[in-house]
Amino acid sequence: MSPSSSLNHPPASPPAAAGSKLYRVGTLTYTRSKLFQVVFWMLWGDFIFQLLESMPTVTPLLLRWHGASDTLIGFVGSLSSVVAFFWYPVVATQSDRHRGRLGRRRPFLLWFAPPVMLSLVLLGATKPAGIWLHGLLSSLGNDTVTVAGCSIAWIMVFVVIFLLFNAYIVQVFACLVADVIPVEVMGKFAGFYRAIGALGSLAFNRWILGWVEAYTFHVYLLIGLLFAGAFSLIIWNVKEGEYPPPPPKTPGGPLGAVKEYFQTCFRHPFYLNFFTVTLFFWISLVPLGFVVFFGTQAGTAGYAPTLGLSLQEFGEVRGWTFVVQMVVFFLVGFFVDRFHAIRVAVAGMLLTTVTYFCCFWFVDSSRTLLFWWSLNQAAIAVYLGSAMAMGPRLLPRERYGQFVSANLIYGMVGLILAPPLVGWLLQRIADYRYVFIFCGVTTALAFVALLSLYAQWKKLGGDQNFAPPDPVPKTSHAVTP
């Protein structure tokens, strides 16, 4: 059996001579206690990682506090996605092909955690930076700029810089999970992983979000330091195994590599369908950035009435939804390992669609917002908990990072187009309640794509005989390095 085949289909975990179970992934072998240690450090990193990933959700508030419109807020979100669209394939290819003393994933965590922290801290310094930049430009004779304009420009620049470096963290950490966690426990791990991530989001929304406006820089600095410390521990404590040599470089230089990347990732209908689910699901998350305006008094004059909650009250409601998600995440992993991730994902997407429409119809107070949003977040937890386990089961293992990046950039198409479109529609409708309609329609489209993916999976062997379809064009087999 070739190295790539063994990576795609890891051998069953044989019992040790003494009767204790061994767990294998690639060349790594764990006893139960060693596996527990690896899981602990990966979950610890996930908790802090969710604190980090909660910070971009503050960006709409930062922009609104400096007078940005819904359309501009949407444009900023789209701008960062454009950068990611072109950057993610580079990141994934570098990670898959790298071989070093620390492995192929951990070196990128080591190299790029510091600039992520720095860009985060500089985002937190937007207010004094905007004043400083305005003073600098004014002293150079530019009287047309304003403090607000300088602050918004500062935010836009460092959102993009943050994304460039954070792309390494996002993709490498996701790929490290597949490289160090055995497939046979991936469902349970995914459930715990999502649950701990929800705990991190709960901590942010319940105890941190309310302090962001008054102590913006301090919050950003704290999250940056926690992130740097946590990922240093992961680099030290989580070891990678040995990898087979990377595929030979494609002839033709950078243009040949780009051509090979797109031919490999986007030629097979099965993978295109996989990516389409992500596309519509990610689009459905875009309007949620405006829910804070529906729930609080941060809306714009002339719009339909909002719920009128304070930012602290909204953070408490949002925090309780993560409590609900945590419970679901802890449970969903057992169903994933029992019934397969793709089946659980179909159920989760259907429930998500239904509850979005219920949020639109029935939410009229903080109490109903808490109830229906909690049900919605529970349904999303069912899907997310299963979706995380779908990748290692459905994507080619030897090119896992490449296909993760292809999935991301395919989804980025939606994130490029959706934010300005949603912002424009909200300005036309002037009612933030319609964010739930936008979410419901797009998750319905994701549900249809997921049903199609399920049918393809069954046709390709289903539970017993499925193997990831060969992603390499047949003509490339004849190419010699």
Long-range interactions of 26-29: CB distance < 8 A, separation 24+: 26/179, 26/241, 26/242, 26/243, 27/241, 27/242, 28/180, 28/239, 28/240, 28/241
- Would 80 be classed as within a structural domain? yes
What region, left, alpha or beta, does residue 299 occupy, with left being phi > 0 and alpha being psi -120 to 50 degrees? beta
Closest to 175 in 3D by CA, of 92, 54, 53: 92
In a domain, 398, yes or no: yes
Q: Per-residue confidence at 300, pLDDT binned at 50, 70, 90?
A: low
Confidence label for 11 from pLDDT (cuts 50, 70 and 90): very low
Cα–Cα distance measured from residue 306 to residue 369, given in angstroms and rounded to the nearest whole number: 12
The residue range of the domain holding 442 is: 26-465
Residue 80: pLDDT band (50, 70, 90) is low
Q: Who's near 321: CB < 8 A, 6+ residues apart? A: 370, 373, 374, 376, 377
Mean pLDDT of the chain: 83
Higher pLDDT, 156 or 90: 156
Task: Give the span between the Cα atoms of 422 and 266, in whole angstroms.
Answer: 27
pTM of the model: 0.67
Helices assigned H by DSSP within 125-146: 126-139
Q: How many CA atoms lie within 13 A of 155 on its CB side?
A: 29
Is 481 part of any domain?
no
Which residues fall within 8 angstroms of residue 89, CB to CB, at 6 or more apart?
258, 261, 402, 405, 406, 409
Does any domain span residue 478? no
More confident residue, 252 or 229: 229
With residue 57 as reference, give the H or E element that holds it.
none
207 vs 231, residue with greater confidence: 231
Residue 1 has pLDDT above 50, yes or no: no
Residues 6+ apart with CB under 8 A from 428: none
The whole-angstrom separation of Cα 187 and Cα 374 is 23
Q: Is 141 exposed, middle or buried (0-12, 13-18, 19+ CB in 10 A)?
A: exposed
pLDDT tens-place string over residues 105-159: 899 999 999 999 999 999 999 999 999 998 998 888 877 888 989 999 999 889 8
Q: What is residue 4's predicted lDDT score, i.e. its pLDDT? A: 38
Domain contains 475: no
- For residues 46 and 268, give the distance between their C-alpha atoms in angstroms, rounded to a whole number: 32
How far apart are the C-alpha atoms of 206 and 187, rounded to whole Å?
Answer: 28
Q: What is the pLDDT of residues 180-222, one digit of tens each?
A: 998 888 878 877 887 887 788 778 877 887 788 888 999 999 9
CATH of the domain at 450: 1.20.1250.20
Q: How many domains does the chain have?
A: 1
Q: For tokens 């580079």, name the residue.
A: 90
pLDDT recorded at residue 12: 43
List all residues 6 or more positions away from 458 whose beta carbon is below 8 Å from its beta carbon: none
pLDDT average, residue stretch 319-345: 86
pLDDT of residue 362: 92
Residue 327 placed within a domain: yes
- Enter the DSSP assignment of 395: S
Average pLDDT of the segment spanning 63-92: 76
Say if 379 falls within a structural domain.
Answer: yes
pLDDT tens, 427-460?
A: 888 888 899 999 999 999 999 999 999 999 999 9
User: Is residue 472 domain-resident?
Assistant: no
pLDDT score of 17 more than 50: no
